[in-house]
Structure formats: C-alpha cells, structure tokens
Chains A and B, each alone.
Chain A
C-alpha cells in the first residue's frame, strides 16, 4: 500500500526540483490500493483468512496505515524506509512476502503520485508468481482466483492458481469508509515496523518539472473560425 498526497494537493518541489515538497500536505491511502484493500477484505470475509497491509515508508506514513487498519485489515507491516523508487519498494516487499505464507498479494495499478506502475510486475518476477494487472473484478472460487480486465474493445477473463499477485483498477469495488467500531479496533491492532534490507539503488529521480500554468481562455468569433486554425497551426503549433 502506498501513501500518497491527497488528490487536491497543490504540487510543488524543493531541493532544486529533485524532491516533492511535502510541507503541509495531507496524505491518503493510494486510491487504487484502497480498492485492493477493500477487495482483500471482501475475499477474507467470504472465504476466511486475514489481511495484512504492507507499506514501505517512514514513520509519517503511520496515520494512513492506521486508517487501513480501521477500514478492517488485521495487521500491518511498515518497512522503515523512504519509498524512493519502484525496484527498491518491490524488493523490500518481496522480503516480507517470502518470509510469510501469503496466498494472494493485491496492489494498485499504480500510485497516483509518481504513477510508476512498476511494483506489481517486479514483485511477481522476484517471487516467481503469476501476476494479473489492472483488474476490474477479482473473486476467489474453489481455491483459484478469477479476474476480469478491460482490454481494448472488450474484456478478458483470467483464472490463476495461488499464490498470485494482482493489481486493482478503478470500478473494482466501492472503497470502505472506516466506521467508529473499526477506528476503535484499530487502536490495538499490530503495526510492526521492520528495518529494510540493504540494497543498492539502481535508479533515482533526477529532477521534476511542474506543468506550465494554464493560459486564459481566448474567445474566437464564430464568424472567423479560420482564425482558430491559424492559431493552432502557427502560434501553438499543435497541428501541421
């Protein structure tokens, strides 16, 4: 589960545009991970089992992890490291997955901050598990996972043996809002902090750039529609 800035956050950068400025930013559960968490709970409620939330993040991720526990996860693991890059995160997660007997690992299709979308695939590779990406339906039937994915002009059904890793796409389910009982229960649910395994970083973010500011709307008289073509071709240069 990644912890990401709230979707209404104004994004700015610091340290010469090499770092996201988290000052005053509210953090939330990555919306796609919120879906996979809800789906995991639905599966566990139906067939039994427990749900563990795992996050690579520093201590400031804990309020968000606590929310995941309030939504219903049984326990949580925080790997005490900054989630600097997809490969690094996947390797850290692989370590804890290898150490315990998990049957199903659910992720989000991407995190909505850096939109890397790498962790699911790398994790599957590291674990040597089958993986199914961007699922709009997930169901556990007779010990096998049934998935559906939207593909160009249609839909694909996939059945996979356990263990399996899969990522959530929107419309997978309706995310749950923590209720009072869940929030009370979350106080005493275990949140284990583990130190990261030492790894060599194979990639890092070089710099960021904000999109250029929106320009004012210009109205063009309907009588002079030709002017529009002229602007698009010669001024903004988006048509040839």
Chain B
C-alpha cells in the first residue's frame, strides 16, 4: 500500500500543526456544546493523524489509505444520516463542521468524505431499498466499504443530462455500458453509485460492485490538484448488474442533483476550512517574518491582505451557519446552496493566493500548506458544479430565465 511509511511520518511531524481558528464574530456562541465537541475532536484527530502526513502523500500523489478507519470513527462518513443505519444521526451543522475541519487540512481528504457521505451513502439512504440500506450503509459509515459516485462522462460534465452511459433490462439483470471520468475514490472504491440512462432515456441510479465482470477503474495520473485524493475512470463493458442493485425510488436527473446539493453544502463549509488555514498560516508568518527591521505584519499592504481575508472568512462563516440551519429545517434551496458554494470557494481561492504572497518564497514550498490548498481549490471550484454553473443557477433563480442553453 504505497511507498510512504505512514507511522514513521506521523511520529516525526506530530505537534507541528499549530492551527488556531479565527472566530472574529464569536460564531462559536451560535453553536451547541455538542457541535463544538465534535468540531474540536475532529480538529484534534486531524492534527494527530492527518496534518503530519498529508504533505508527503500530496507530494507523492498517493491517497493515505491508513486514515480510512479513523475517518469512520470520527464520524466523517455520513454523520447526518440516521443512527439506525450505523451513522451519526447528527444535524447538517455537524456535517458542515466536520467537512470544515477536514478541508482545513486538505481538500482531497474532505473530497473522500464528501463523496462517501453525500454522494454514495446519501443516495442509498434517500433512494435505496431497505435491503440496500442495511446491506451498505453501516459498512460505508465505518469505512469498511468505500464508495464512489459516477456522474461525469468524458463528453458530459456541466451537462450531465447528455450522458450516454446506459442500462438495458435483460430480464434477470441489467446490462451496463459506458464510461465515467474524473471520479473521486474510483481507483480503490468497493462500490460505485452510477447514473445511467435506461431504454426510455430516463436517468437511473445503480450500485456497481468491484469485481463485476467488465468493470474497471483506471486511475487518472498527472494531477496538480487534489493529489492526495485518488481520481479515476469507471469503465463498463457489458457489465451484468443484479436487478436488486437499482435504486428504486428515483428517476431522472433529480437523483444525482439531490446528492450534489448535499455535497455542495458540505463543500461550502470545507472551503472556509481551507481559507481559515491559509489565513492562520499567513498571520503567524507575517508576525514572525522580519524585513526592513520589523515584522512584515506591520506594513499596511500586508495588513490590508490580512484584514480582507478575515472579513471574507467571517462573512463566509455566517453564510455556512445560516445555511446549516436552513438545511436542518429542510428549507435550504439549491440556489441558496449554489450561492454558498460559489462564494466560499472563490474567497478561499483568493485567500490562498494572497496568503501565498505573504509567505514570500516560503509559500511555494511544502513547508506550508498554502500552495497545496491553492492547487486543491482549483478542483473544488470546478467540481460539483463549476463556478460558472452556480452563477447560472443563481441567475435563473433571480430572473426566472434559463441561461444554460
């Protein structure tokens, strides 16, 4: 399993992550005791298990498989789903906070958790049969099974409705053909939730298990972004899928889009996590680094950067908190989620770029997390609906006019 000595690395770098969260508006006061307990526990776990190893895994473009069990224990996989299926039974605020803490360390690891919780477990929970829920959810929650979500195709990204992957009803099974691309977790996933068109051209969800004949998952290499997350293709060459693997309770694009809403919600928290890490690092650095006989934090230009970062972080934190409450009450609309995802990823990218400059040359090295965050966020701004696509969703909501086509 990879070339890196996980335990040795963990011991060597333990204690170096000294992150302190900015909370300029005392937003912690808006959270419950349990929210804070979970948030702090995930943060402690990240500092102990993840921060010490993440840079090396990202540099070598490997996924740290050793963390999967811990991610399950800490509640990163589907904490918002009910306890009767082995999940956390927590609210969406908790889910958001967990995503924030994971992405504070690395967007790639948060991606693994987002995919598992929102794109694999959530559709099984929401659209699956009772048998499917009991068969898969408890194991997925523990990380004993890992999943991936196949929607994007080589020729259909922003326009998933154009997909060509298809299932044919063969009487006692479905025959699945086609290919998916840019699929997070694909190279190691045990199961895939795949969206494909049936004979009538209706989009259906189907669970495909590793090992089915004709199903392969080649890895995508050469990424400059999300390097600690494994990305790959799903190739289906006349794959026989048992009939009971079809998700019975949804038809049409609504299926995948509902999942995306849940994942995008988590990303809007996650992105703030990345932004807070960049800000914290930049602030510490600016206070310590002396030029012209004084800390660079004393120069107006650097203060402008830091003050603006904190302003944007504070606004984004409040957006997350409010959106969390809307989610908890089942009232969040897709357009509200689009606003949060779009805004928060954008400010995180801007903050990463500014933070990188504050770190000077040091900012381009793996000594600091900034450049990794910055490169990661280039994927985050593209997946789960590109920056443009979320603007079009908002535009349509405001004007009632569809500008997609």
Residues of B with C-beta under 8 A to A77: none
For the residues of A in contact with B, the DSSP-based class is helix
Residue of A nearest to B36 (CB): A63
Residue of A nearest to B32 (CB): A63
Q: Cβ of A177 and Cβ of B36 under 8 Å apart? A: no
Whether a CB of chain A sits under 8 angstroms from the CB of B45 is yes
Cα–Cα, bound, A205→B36 (Å): 32
Residues of A with C-beta under 8 A to B36: 63
Residue of A nearest to B18 (CB): A8
Residues of B with C-beta under 8 A to A177: 41, 44-45, 48, 74
In chain A between 152 and 178, which residues have their CB closer than 8 angstroms to a CB of chain B?
A: 177-178
Q: Cβ of B33 and Cβ of A180 under 8 Å apart? A: no
- Contact check: which of A8, A63, A181 meets B37 at CB < 8 Å? A63
Residues of A with C-beta under 8 A to B79: 180
Whether a CB of chain A sits under 8 angstroms from the CB of B396 is no
Q: Cβ of B73 and Cβ of A179 under 8 Å apart? A: yes
Q: Interface size of B by Cβ–Cβ distance < 8 Å? A: 19
For the residues of B in contact with A, the DSSP-based class is helix
Whether a CB of chain B sits under 8 angstroms from the CB of A146 is no
Cα–Cα, bound, A8→B20 (Å): 9
Beta-carbon contacts of B37-61 to A below 8 Å, as 1s and 0s? Answer: 1100100110010000000000000
Q: Cβ of A180 and Cβ of B75 under 8 Å apart? A: yes
Q: Cβ of A66 and Cβ of B33 under 8 Å apart? A: yes
Q: Cβ of B41 and Cβ of A66 under 8 Å apart? A: no
Cα–Cα, bound, A178→B33 (Å): 14
- Contact check: which of A8, A24, A63, A178 meets B41 at CB < 8 Å? A178
Q: A177-B44, A177-B45 are in contact. Are A183 and B73 (CB under 8 A)?
A: no
Residues of B with C-beta under 8 A to A8: 20
Whether a CB of chain A sits under 8 angstroms from the CB of B2 is no
Q: Cβ of A183 and Cβ of B41 under 8 Å apart? A: yes
Whether a CB of chain B sits under 8 angstroms from the CB of A67 is yes
Whether a CB of chain A sits under 8 angstroms from the CB of B88 is yes
In chain B between 137 and 196, which residues have their CB closer than 8 angstroms to a CB of chain A?
A: none
Whether a CB of chain A sits under 8 angstroms from the CB of B199 is no
Q: Cβ of A179 and Cβ of B88 under 8 Å apart? A: no
Q: A8-B20, A177-B44, A177-B48 are in contact. Are A70 and B37 (CB under 8 A)?
A: yes
6 A-B contact pairs sorted by A residue (CB < 8 Å): A66-B33, A177-B48, A178-B37, A183-B34, A183-B37, A184-B89
- Chain B: residues with CB nearer than 8 A to chain A? 20, 26, 33-34, 36-38, 41, 44-45, 48, 73-75, 79, 83, 88-90
Given contacts A70-B41, A183-B41, 5 further A-B contacts (CB under 8 A): A63-B36, A70-B37, A177-B74, A180-B74, A180-B79
- Chain A: residues with CB nearer than 8 A to chain B? 8, 24, 62-63, 66-67, 70, 177-181, 183-184, 187
